[in-house]
Amino acid sequence: MTSALRQVVAIALMTFLEARRNRITMAFFFSSLVIVVSSFVFREVTTTGLDVIVRDVGLATIHLFGLILAVLLGSSVLSREIERKTLYMLITKPVSRASFAIGKISGVALTLLVTLGLMAGTFLLQQVVFGAPLGWILAQTCWLLFVQLVLVSCFAYFVSTFASPLVSAFMALGLFVVGESAGNVWTLAEHAESAPYRLLLRSICYLFPNLERMNLKSFAQVLRDVPGRTVLEQSVYGLIYIALFVSGAVLVFRRRDMK
């Protein structure tokens, strides 16, 4: 392992460990597990198919709690280091600022991977316990939700290199809302009568990542398979945006004065 990679891994593991022992992170995680596990109560109150409801509630819970965690961690992981000056002793060691910045966001991604992995595992176990049918689509959905949330987290991280955690959290939520509504925005643009308005809506579609492409919940709800190639394409699409946001964060962070 090269020296830079070893440093990135050390910082990522430290970030993960810090997040894992954080009471707020843990509270979110256990709350989400409770909701995922307790979604079977809908069996008593629904007339629709139990499997559909439980899948819907389970995946929506994973998505919602994952989003909160992604925004919280992404917007605060670097700004907390700067605000509390914990990074003074880290970046004065023989480590580049790029390695430090990549290490921090890798730690956030690792935290999301483990958290979403455990939530998804609990969800799949619940499906097995209740004898609900399983399909690859469930794993594919969880994977793409993870890619989507890492993307949102990286955007919050990028904004946090030059703005406050609150601003970066709001901007990341804005990106999520616009990105998840990309299809509707495009349809609106198609039907817009005013040319400037149409241009504005189309610009939004080109500028913002289409997060809807990474949301397969509607397919998972009815266990409709999606080709592996599609999942791969959406993953690469998400990774390109992740790389862009992380590069932006590194560029800003490298020039930043630590007052």
Partner 1 sequence: MSLPEPVVSVAGLHKTFRLGFLGRRRIEALKGVDFEVARGMIFGFLGPNGAGKSTTLKILTGLLAPSGGTAMLFGQVPDTQSVRRRYGYLPENPSFHENLTGREILRVMASLLGLDASTASRRTREVLSVAGLDRAADVQVRRYSKGMVQRLGIAQALLHDPELAILDEPMSGLDPVGRREVKELMLDLRARGRTVFFSTHIISDVEELCDQVVILVGGRVTRQGAVRDLIGQGPKQYEVVASGLPTQLPVAPARVMGDRQAFLVPDEEAARRLIEQLWAAGARVHALSVRSYNLEELFLSEVGKGPVGAAVQLD
Q: Does residue 21 belong to the site contacting partner 1 (CB under 8 A)?
A: yes
Select from 34, 85, 190, 239 the one that contacts partner 1 (CB under 8 A): 85
Rg of the chain, C-alpha, whole Å: 20
* Cα separation, 103 vs 88, whole angstroms: 15
Beta carbons of 250 and 215 less than 8 angstroms apart: no
Torsion of CA 107, 124, 145, 167, to 10 degrees: -60
Choices 6-14, 33-41, 47-55, 207-215 (CB under 8 A): range interacting with partner 1: 6-14
Q: Does residue 258 belong to the site contacting partner 1 (CB under 8 A)?
A: yes
Q: Does residue 164 belong to the site contacting partner 1 (CB under 8 A)?
A: no
Cβ within 8 Å of residue 77, ≥6 positions away: 15, 104, 105, 107, 108, 157, 160
Instruction: Please give the structure tokens belonging to residue 127.
Output: 């499906």
Q: Does residue 114 belong to the site contacting partner 1 (CB under 8 A)?
A: no
Beta carbons of 101 and 253 less than 8 angstroms apart: yes
Residue with Cβ nearer partner 1 (82 or 124): 82
Choices 63-71, 78-86, 113-121, 123-131 (CB under 8 A): range interacting with partner 1: 78-86
Q: Does residue 259 belong to the site contacting partner 1 (CB under 8 A)?
A: yes
Q: Does residue 224 belong to the site contacting partner 1 (CB under 8 A)?
A: no
Residue with Cβ nearer partner 1 (20 or 198): 20
Choices 10-18, 32-40, 121-129, 223-231 (CB under 8 A): range interacting with partner 1: 10-18
